Each structure stands twice: as C-alpha cells, then as structure tokens.
Amino acid sequence: MTKANKAQRATSNRILKRYGGTVYESENVLQIRSDERLIDIATTASLGEALQRLRFSKQRAYVAITNLEALAAALRITRSTKVGVMDPQGNIVREAES
C-alpha cells in the first residue's frame, strides 16, 4: 500500500488549516472532505487519477497540486470538466462548478 508523500502531506495540512474538513487517506489517495468541497491532493504523476475520482462528484471538487510545475497540466486536464484547481498553498486558481 502506497501512502501519501511528504509534498502531499504538506499541501493537505495547509489546505486543511485554511478550509477545514476531514482528511481521508487510502491507497494512493489523499483527500480533504467537507460539506462544501472535495479536494484531492495530487502529484504530477497522479493528476489523471485524481481527475477520474473527482469527475462525478456532486460537491464542488478540486484537484490540489503539490508543486507549481504541475499547474499548467492541471489546468489543461480540467479544462472541459467541472473540477477546479488549487495551488499548493490552497489558493483557488480555477473555480469548481457545482
């Protein structure tokens, strides 16, 4: 079983502090869940998997990247979806649609 890496944990801690919620972790998945939003913490390598998990969420769904180098890729793959994008600090770069 693969656990979250250091970058994912740091990103999730910042976002959790900023927005609140509950951390959910299972194999290869680190998410923050609240009544208002679902945030999947993704590395560059896991962006596609994160998008698949979030595509059909009934909540506002965001993929939060762990490094700024992944920002362009995250914006590109979420372009035709309702999934929003957050940077590693939890700033909303692309707003999610509900």
pLDDT given at position 2: 55
Domain boundaries, the chain: 6-87
This prediction's pTM: 0.92
The two three-digit tokens of residue 77, written as one number: 């793959």
pLDDT given at position 13: 96
Cα gap 64→34, rounded to integer Å:
15
Report the DSSP beta bridge partners of residue 60: 37
Residue 11 has pLDDT above 60, yes or no: yes
Q: What is the pLDDT of residues 35-63, one digit of tens each?
A: 999 999 999 999 999 999 999 999 999 99
Instruction: Please state, as a whole number, how many other Cβ atoms lie within 10 Å of the Cβ of residue 88.
Output: 19
Q: What is the pLDDT of residues 12-23, one digit of tens each?
A: 999 999 999 999
pLDDT given at position 90: 96
